[in-house]
């Protein structure tokens, strides 16, 4: 176990600061540096916009489908790369499911400000209010996505060309491929 993790675990278990200093042979300066590092990590995670790229894939429409997302912190570091097999569904459902997968992960990581990029022009325009949601089966997904987006302090969504969304597309297709290989 990393020494820093052990120190914070000891503090979480109720060991006081003098006890931690003694157990881990820490000088006051070393303990102060440890707390500064921890504060910096939280500061970096909380400041600025995170970037979520999401994509849904369906082989056939409907067909075997997957959702994919990648999430980058404000410094551009990849923090999550996930895919989920969805079963047989349409591409539009897969696009919304990919967004919801990414929003779930961003929320889990404590993201406050989020910029979403997706190659589904339909979904982006529906969520930004430029298009009405006409398909009855998409209304609950649209509503859930909008309600989840509103939980962030700030958010924005934009359409990008498919070629700029390669990592999210790979995650979605990887989920489909893994399910196919497991059969």
CA distance 107 to 121: 24
Output the pLDDT for position 173. 97
Q: What SS3 state is found at 53?
A: strand
When pLDDT is cut at 50, 70 and 90, the band that residue 17 belongs to is confident
* Average pLDDT along the chain: 91
Output the pLDDT for position 32. 79
Output the pLDDT for position 8. 83
The third-level CATH classification (topology) of the domain covering 50-182 is Nucleotidyltransferase; domain 5 (3.30.420)
| Residue range(s) of every CATH 3.30.420.10 domain in the chain | 50-182
Pairing of strands 78-89, 63-72: antiparallel
- Residue 182: count of CB within 10 angstroms of its CB: 7
CA distance 91 to 111: 27
Distances in Å between the Cα of 39 and the Cα atoms of 32, 36, 94 are 11, 5, 38
Element (H, E) at 157: strand 154-159
Tens-place pLDDT, residues 113-160: 999 999 999 999 999 999 999 999 999 999 999 999 999 999 999 999
């Amino acid at each position: 176990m990393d020494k820093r993790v052990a120190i914070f675990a000891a503090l979480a278990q109720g060991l006081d600061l003098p006890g931690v200093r003694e157990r881990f042979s820490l000088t006051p300066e070393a303990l102060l540096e440890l707390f500064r590092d921890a504060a910096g990590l939280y500061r970096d995670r909380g400041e600025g916009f995170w970037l979520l790229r999401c994509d849904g894939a369906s082989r056939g429409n409907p067909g075997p489908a997957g959702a994919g997302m990648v999430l980058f912190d404000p410094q551009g570091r990849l923090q999550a790369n996930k895919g989920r097999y969805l079963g047989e569904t349409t591409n539009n459902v897969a696009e919304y499911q990919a967004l919801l997968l990414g929003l779930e992960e961003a929320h889990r990581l404590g993201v406050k400000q989020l910029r979403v990029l997706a190659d589904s022009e339909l979904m982006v325009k529906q969520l930004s209010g430029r298009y009405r949601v006409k398909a009855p089966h998409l209304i609950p997904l649209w509503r859930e996505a909008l309600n989840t987006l509103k939980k962030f302090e700030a958010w924005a969504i934009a359409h990008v060309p498919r070629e700029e969304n390669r990592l999210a597309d790979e995650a979605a297709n990887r989920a489909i491929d893994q399910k196919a290989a497991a059969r």
